[in-house]
């Protein structure tokens, strides 16, 4: 049983807890202290093979798929209810291994995860397939044709550390709703939350073998991607890793969905409510210490309101409290690891070397040297070609860039390899809607930022990914479409 006191954990395979095949473990580090908080089984290739056998058996004997759809929907809703019931325990586990402030875990991530299971529970009983007209020149008229949706089989789900409950949920819930069985590999930094989710799914009634969770490092992930009997891969993480997954999956022509990086523009026009825009921009970039793929890390501000906006943003950033996530008064917790901490501080140095003006932050807060803490950091006088404006930093660092008119704002916004999200702030709704047409991003907010719903698809253009999470589109990514044609004529059509 996984709890906030758990110090050792195994793999979850075929409904059982067991050590890794090699008996190897790895350390989970509390980013607020830099100390080991748990040791977890390090799954490898042999564990992946066993998990595939378990998931295949569960798929082929239809122990999940043969349940009445209403019953499967009830089980997904049971998972949602259990997430809500165990919200405090989940929050403490997440904060312990991820560093996220408890208030954000309790009021954002956990409710969204529960809502996600509720939404996909509702899709289990929705019509899947259509009766369609049939047309073939010279054929007799009496045919019936329709499409059927069938689960793709065993899905390999690989998730990152920044949202240790929500990211697994975004994959497990639609895969279950589609009737798939699956192997989930959470990030090695945050395995305990995913293992707790597996425990709740089992308690809710998900049969053994349907959901298998393999905590581990690179070997497990590579084995999942390359396994010839896993036809579907869903990955969230860095764009560079997404490229490697596509290459590794290509020999098997696997179905691959990818939710990757971003360098999202948050555009403030001269007619915007500057106070509201500054408040929202703060949440847009510093939420979860900036470790959010759609973080608004490029704030584009019309030159006529640039100085006033920057002044408000800096004033508000200085008031944010940084510290351990266990203190509900803190706004920003630590970043995930020593490696990430060093990378972010290096980018702050690069920004100053490139000529950007550091207005606030950029340092380790006083008295917080044991963990991986960084002050909220604001750069002004940033040009679009600077590295801090082009490369995903994945930390509490924002670049504020001036622009002259709508066309220049669109140009700067779109001059990136990414296209995950964007926002525009304006009182002119026509301007906002026109910008929505012109900006290349999978999500665009008007006069808001960071608000998501399980009913809406989420994903990116360009190198921000392939496919969509959430919405009915996510369900479809775990389904195959079959066309069925029935000849109702007295005699079959023949050419011979």
Catalytic amino acids? Answer: 259
DSSP-derived 3-state class of residue 90: helix
> In the beta sheet, which residues pair with residue 151?
479
Q: In the structure encoding, which two tokens stand for residue 313, read together?
A: 């943003």
Q: Are 210 and 176 in contact (CB under 8 A)?
A: yes
Q: How far is CA 229 from the centre of its chain?
A: 25
Q: In the structure encoding, which two tokens stand for residue 206, read together?
A: 């998900």
Q: Are 300 and 412 in contact (CB under 8 A)?
A: yes
> In the beta sheet, which residues pair with residue 229?
none
For every residue of 64-87, DSSP letters joined together read: TTTS-HHHHHHHHHHHHHHHHHTH
DSSP-derived 3-state class of residue 40: strand
Query: Distance between CA 128 and CA 476 in Å, rounded?
Result: 9
Query: Distance between CA 217 and CA 43 in Å, rounded?
Result: 7
Closest CA to 425 of 266, 264, 263, 275: 266
DSSP-derived 3-state class of residue 276: helix
Query: Distance between CA 13 and CA 44 in Å, rounded?
Result: 13
What sections of 268-421 are H helices per DSSP? 274-286, 306-319, 338-353, 387-390, 406-414
Query: Distance between CA 83 and CA 230 in Å, rounded?
Result: 28
Q: How far is CA 65 from the centre of its chain?
A: 26
From the CA atom positions of the chain, what is the Rg in Å? 24
């Amino acid at each position: 049983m996984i709890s906030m006191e758990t110090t050792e954990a195994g793999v979850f395979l075929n409904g059982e807890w067991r050590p890794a095949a090699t008996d190897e473990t790895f350390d989970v580090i509390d980013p607020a202290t830099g100390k080991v908080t748990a040791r977890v089984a390090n799954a490898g290739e042999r564990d992946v093979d066993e998990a595939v056998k378990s998931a295949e058996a569960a798929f082929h004997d239809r122990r999940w798929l043969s349940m009445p759809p209403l019953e499967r929907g009830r089980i997904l809703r049971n998972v949602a209810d259990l997430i809500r019931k165990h919200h405090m325990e989940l929050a403490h586990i997440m904060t312990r291994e991820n560093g996220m402030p408890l208030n954000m875990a309790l009021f954002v991530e956990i409710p969204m995860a529960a809502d996600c299971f509720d939404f996909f529970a509702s899709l289990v009983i929705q019509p899947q397939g259509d009766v369609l007209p049939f047309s073939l020149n010279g054929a007799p008229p009496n045919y019936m044709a329709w499409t059927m949706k069938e689960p793709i089989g065993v899905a390999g789900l690989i998730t990152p550390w920044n949202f240790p409950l929500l990211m697994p949920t975004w994959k497990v819930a639609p895969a279950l709703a589609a009737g798939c069985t699956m192997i989930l590999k959470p990030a090695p930094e945050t395995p305990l939350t995913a293992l707790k989710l597996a425990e709740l799914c089992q308690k809710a009634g998900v049969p053994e073998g349907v959901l298998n969770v393999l905590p581990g490092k690179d070997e497990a992930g590579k084995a999942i991607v390359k396994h010839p009997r896993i036809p579907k891969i869903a990955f969230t993480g860095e764009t560079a890793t997404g490229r490697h997954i596509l290459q590794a999956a290509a020999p098997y022509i696997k179905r691959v969905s990818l939710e990757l990086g971003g360098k999202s523009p948050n555009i403030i026009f001269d007619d915007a409510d500057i106070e509201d825009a500054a408040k929202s921009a703060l949440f847009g970039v510093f939420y979860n210490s900036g470790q959010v793929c759609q973080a608004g890390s490029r704030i584009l501000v019309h030159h006529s309101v640039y100085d006033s906006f920057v002044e408000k943003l800096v004033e508000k950033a200085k008031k944010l409290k940084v510290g351990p996530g266990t203190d509900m008064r803190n706004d920003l917790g630590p970043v995930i690891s020593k490696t990430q901490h060093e990378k972010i501080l290096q980018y702050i140095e690069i920004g100053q070397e490139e000529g950007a003006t550091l207005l606030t932050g950029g340092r380790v807060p006083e008295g917080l040297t044991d963990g991986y803490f960084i002050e909220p950091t604001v750069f002004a006088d940033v040009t679009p070609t600077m590295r801090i404006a082009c490369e995903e930093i994945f930390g509490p660092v924002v670049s504020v860039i001036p622009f002259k008119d709508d066309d220049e704002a669109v140009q700067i916004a779109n001059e990136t390899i990414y296209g995950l999200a964007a926002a525009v702030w304006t009182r002119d709704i026509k301007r906002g809607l026109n910008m929505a047409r012109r900006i290349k991003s999978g999500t665009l907010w008007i006069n808001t930022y960071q608000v998501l719903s399980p009913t809406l698809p989420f994903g990116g253009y360009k190198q921000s990914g392939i496919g969509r999470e959430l919405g009915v589109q996510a369900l479809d990514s775990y389904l195959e479409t079959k066309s069925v044609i029935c000849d109702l004529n007295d005699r079959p059509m023949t050419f011979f």
